Amino acid sequence: MKKIITIGEILVEIMATEPGDGFLEAISLVGPFPSGAPAIFIDQVAKLGQPCGMIACVGDDDFGRVNLDRLAGDGVDTSAIVTHPELPTGSAFVRYRPDGSRHFVFNIRHSAAGATGATPEAERLIEGADHLHVMGSSLSTPAIVELALSAADRIHARGGSVSFDPNLRPSVLATPGTRETMDRVLARTDLFLPSGPELFLFSGAATEGDAVAELLGRGIRAIVVKDGAEGARFHAEGALVSAPAYPVEEIDPTGAGDTFAGTFVTLWLRGATPAEALRLANASGALAVTRRGPMEGTSTRSELDAFLGAHA
Ligand code: ADP
């Protein structure tokens, strides 16, 4: 079986138990929940039984340990997750507002995640990998960017593949250098997984069809557009497959795109048809939004099959 790896941030999320407008009063909190977009992605891959590993850096603290225990327990190769002796594991506090939007307080910028870089353990993981998944949100330092690009080149040179989920807000794309970095990753991407609006951040086109044609013309083999409660669409040269989302009650949308991508990439590498990969990935995303906590949304194959059986 092909080994999938990813590089990036690990953090914890701590959530307010009741909706409200922020953290300006004493409120009840629940957590810490393991989190970080690439960590959620790789946990989903592990839950499907695929060999996988992660290159990351956590603090020498309980927030780091809670993540390491969860990832290792679910089957992720954590040999390239380094423990930093001084910097803390990052955290995010989140409270839902009454209108369903989210208020965040982040403590990530100066956390151990920023110290992720090349180590002998990372080199070993890259040498044994068949597929690299890159998330735009992880490319926060020059060291991480260079490590991701060199991993992509080395995995390609051995006949492997690369997927890319931009996971970016437009405001981040406006940061100097970000677009050039994303273009360098896109030039190495086989499977691209943007959300609906993100597709247009990377193309001047006005319609999804034109944007897809432009990106396929740049050498990307397949594009999966994630469209929230609308489901998802797969595009490749001469192929378009749409799959509706499953109707569920949304409790917590954080991590839906990462679990969707973990399932789609795993199924794609196993040779599933686009329709089958979309069916299971939509089930993953739907199950994720029904659970509180970002990584709590990852699912095993039997959980996905049970969900699909109930929604046949
Ligand atoms: P991202 O988190 O990257 O923005 P989306 O919000 O598009 O990604 O969610 C990813 C996938 O999760 C969707 O394509 C869909 O399959 C599923 N999903 C997300 N929100 C819902 C929802 N409210 N109901 C059902 N499925 C959902």
CB 109: neighbour CB atoms within 10 A?
A: 9
Packing angle, helices 37-47 and 62-74, rounded to 10: 30
**Cα 247 to ligand 1 centre (Å):** 11
- pLDDT per residue as tens digits for the range 18-31: 999 999 999 999 99
**Does ligand 1 come within 6 angstroms of the Cβ of 145?**
no
Q: What is the DSSP string of the chain?
A: ---EEEE---EEEEEESS--S-SSS---EEEEEEE-HHHHHHHHHHHTT--EEEEEEEESSHHHHHHHHHHHHHT-B-TTEEEESSSPPEEEEEEE-TTS-EEEEEE-TTSGGGG----HHHHHHHHT-SEEEEEGGG--SHHHHHHHHHHHHHHHHTT-EEEEE----HHHHTSTTHHHHHHHHHTT-SEE--BHHHHHHT---SSHHHHHHHHHHTT--EEEEE-GGG-EEEEETTEEEEEPPPP---S--TTHHHHHHHHHHHHHHTT--HHHHHHHHHHHHHHHHTSSSSGGG---HHHHHHHHHHT-
The total of structural domains in the chain comes to: 1
CA 16 to chain centre: 23
- pLDDT per residue as tens digits for the range 55-65: 999 999 999 99
Q: What is the CATH number of the domain that holds 176?
A: 3.40.1190.20
**Cα 111 to ligand 1 centre (Å):** 28
Q: Report which protein residue has its CA nearest ligand 1's atom 13.
A: 228
pLDDT band for position 139 (cuts 50, 70, 90): very high
**Does ligand 1 come within 6 angstroms of the Cβ of 229?**
yes
Tell me which of 201 and 33 has the higher pLDDT.
33
Tell me which of 294 and 175 has the higher pLDDT.
294
Q: Report which protein residue has its CA nearest ligand 1's atom 17.
A: 285
CA 101 to chain centre: 20
* Residue type (1 letter), 180: E
pLDDT band for position 232 (cuts 50, 70, 90): very high
Mean pLDDT score of the chain: 95
- pLDDT per residue as tens digits for the range 65-100: 999 999 999 999 999 999 999 999 999 999 999 988
Domain range enclosing 17: 4-310
Identify the residue whose tokens are 């437009």: 170
pTM > 0.90: yes or no: yes
**Cα 284 to ligand 1 centre (Å):** 9
Please report the pLDDT score of residue 95 as a whole number.
95
Please report the pLDDT score of residue 177 as a whole number.
86
Contact 103, 22 (CB under 8 A): yes
Q: Report which protein residue has its CA nearest ligand 1's atom 20.
A: 228
Q: Given ligand 1 and candidates 282, 290, 295, 299, which is best to mutate, with the most ligand atoms within 8 Å of its CB?
A: 282
